[in-house]
Amino acid sequence: MNYYFIACRTGGEEKVRAHLNKFFTRELGEVHDVFIFIPMRRMIDRCKGKKIMTDHPILPGYLLVSSEEDLANFSLDVHRLPGCYGFLHNLDKTIELKGPDHEYAAWIMHNKGTIKPSKVVYKQGEPIKVVEGPLKDFMGTIISVDYRHSRVMVEFQFADVIRKVSMPVEFIQPDKENYDLD
């Protein structure tokens, strides 16, 4: 599978995604295999003292595209779409993601574009243990824990830049029968 990131106007991701879907349907036909996701994280927020689930972009202003086909021939056409800045380029001017960026995109796609809260066991002063969910196979590093807001700050590399993102978690009590905590 080939993965690409497309830069667009922050806040206009849905509109650009609609334009891209129309464009690829027109160019490749109804049975095209181009999938476009807005990488999201499902967060546990508080509103008037109650916990609610809301979706927030992981990388505002970017769309994740996957396809079996090489999309390099569409680079100029995609750049001309309203609100779209075009494909993200590697240093060698190619647009297909490579190395850690490819692994990160594959991880997001494996989770269907939305990172839901992972289940973790955490005690003050001890390392955090992810027992279930998307962060279990995450390629980054957990650098801090926000127990009150059910979040962890993770650090990962994307486009040769170290990024820090708050990710959702669900804290659970350790149960040695159901989870291996070694």
Per-residue pLDDT reduced to its tens digit, 152-178: 888 877 667 777 888 888 888 765 545
Structure tokens given for 117: 């809260």
Provide the CATH number for the domain formed by 2-171 in this structure.
3.30.70.940
Phi and psi torsions of 167, nearest 5°? -120, 150
DSSP one-letter code for 24: H
**Range in 34-43, 45-54, 88-97, 154-163 with the lowest mean pLDDT:** 154-163
Nearest CA-CA partner of 95 in 70, 68, 69: 70
Segment 55-105, tens digit of pLDDT: 989 889 999 999 988 899 999 999 999 999 999 998 899 999 998 888 888
Strand order of the sheet with strand 84-87? Answer: 35-37, 62-67, 2-8, 84-87
Least confident of 29-33, 58-62, 73-77, 143-147: 29-33
The pTM assigned to this predicted structure is: 0.75
181 has a pLDDT exceeding 50:
no
Q: Measure the CA–CA gap between 120 and 43, rounded to whole angstroms.
A: 15
Separation of alpha carbons 150 and 66, rounded Å: 31
Beta bridge partners of 99: none
List the domain boundaries for the chain: 2-171
Residues in the chain: 182
